[in-house]
Amino acid sequence: MTRISGETALGLAWIIALVASLAVLFIGEVLGQTPCVLCWFQRAFMFPLAIVLGLGLWWQDQKVGRYGIVLALGGAVVALWHMGLYVGIIPESIKPCTETGPSCTDDNQLVFGIPIPLMALAAFIIIGLLSALSLKETHK
């Protein structure tokens, strides 16, 4: 079984965070789709991931994965809540997006037929796992 190095795991986590950050900027700024409230909260976790993990790679900080885990966990919680609203598990009475701005649950939450909160949740989970994997090597 081939194991990836901590630096490779961290590099993959950074690439995912960077691509996700650039993708939501493209969706918002180029396609003109205004993000809902929960999307803004998810961005608040994803954007720093791209910066922190990138700087950790640049500075060769073998323990930067700790911050990746924490930020990814926070973002995953928000994305999971958003997904619960989107699929109808969480009641509409506690939707944060109904007062102002775009809806958290309508068709503007789809890209290529895939819900944005699901893509965000998957990205946060993968980034968190890769960040944790990057730490395994430092404790030998």
Q: In tens digits, what is the pLDDT along the chain, a chain of 140 residues?
A: 458 888 999 999 999 999 999 999 998 889 888 888 888 999 999 999 999 999 999 999 989 999 999 999 999 999 999 999 888 888 766 666 666 667 777 777 777 888 889 999 999 999 999 999 999 854 44
Neighbouring CB atoms inside 10 A of 59's CB total: 9
| pTM for this prediction | 0.89
Q: Is 116 buried (19+), middle (13-18) or exposed (0-12) by CB count in 10 A?
A: buried
**What residue spans of the chain are helical by DSSP H?**
6-25, 37-58, 65-87, 116-136
Q: Which amino acid is located at 13 in the chain?
A: A
Q: Which of 76, 26, 78, 68 is nearest to 48 (CA)?
A: 68
Q: Mapping DSSP to helix (H, G, I), strand (E, B) and coil, where does residue 32 land?
A: coil
Residues facing 90 on adjacent strands: none
Distance CA 10, CA 96 (A): 33
Distance CA 130, CA 11 (A): 9
